[in-house]
Amino acid sequence: MGNICRSPTAHGVMRALLAKEGLAPQVHVDSAGTHSYHLGHAPDARAQAAVQARGMDISDLRSRLMTEADCAQHDLILVMDWDNLALAQAMCPEAHTHKIRRLTEFCLRRQDTVVPDPYYGGPQGFDDVLDLVQDACQGVLRWVQQRLAA
């Protein structure tokens, strides 16, 4: 939504996984929101703390709004929930809507259908989101590796 909680968390996790696999030079990761609530803001302090506790840093990220150019430039556009799926599909030119998927479609162990928004809860919600995002990003990494090998 506002690109300060879930999306930058996933951005940081994916960036770390790609770096660990030596794929960072080949794969561009970015995050954006579907709402302009927090444009230019750093990730929520609670998201930063949760990610930092697991050895990653997202303090350099800044919130921005998704654009039509994002749809054209990226091979995969991941959203966190059903509302964001609908909004992203509406923002994206029809020729690129096939690239939009829910992040949870890539989960390897969990069965969640969406990544819940932790914004109005406490720190535990951010840890729970991070658990879910780490599982899903492992699946995204597999998808990326398969695409690169093809």
Q: Is the pLDDT of residue 104 over 90?
A: yes
For residue 106 the two structure tokens come to: 């890539």
Percentage of residues in the chain with pLDDT exceeding 70?
A: 100
15-30 b/e with 16+ CB inside 10 Å = b?
Answer: bbbbeeeeeeeebebe
Q: What is the pLDDT of residue 91?
A: 96
Q: What is the pLDDT of residue 36?
A: 87
Q: Are the C-beta atoms of residues 59 and 43 closer than 8 Å to each other?
A: yes
Q: Is the pLDDT of residue 19 over 90?
A: yes
Q: What is the pLDDT of residue 144?
A: 97
pLDDT in tens, 57-70: 999 999 999 999 99
Q: Average model confidence (pLDDT) for the chain?
A: 96
pLDDT in tens, 67-92: 999 999 999 999 999 999 999 999 99
Domain 6-149 fold is: Rossmann fold (3.40.50)
CA 132 to chain centre: 11
Percentage of residues in the chain with pLDDT exceeding 90?
A: 95
Q: Where are the domains of the chain?
A: 6-149
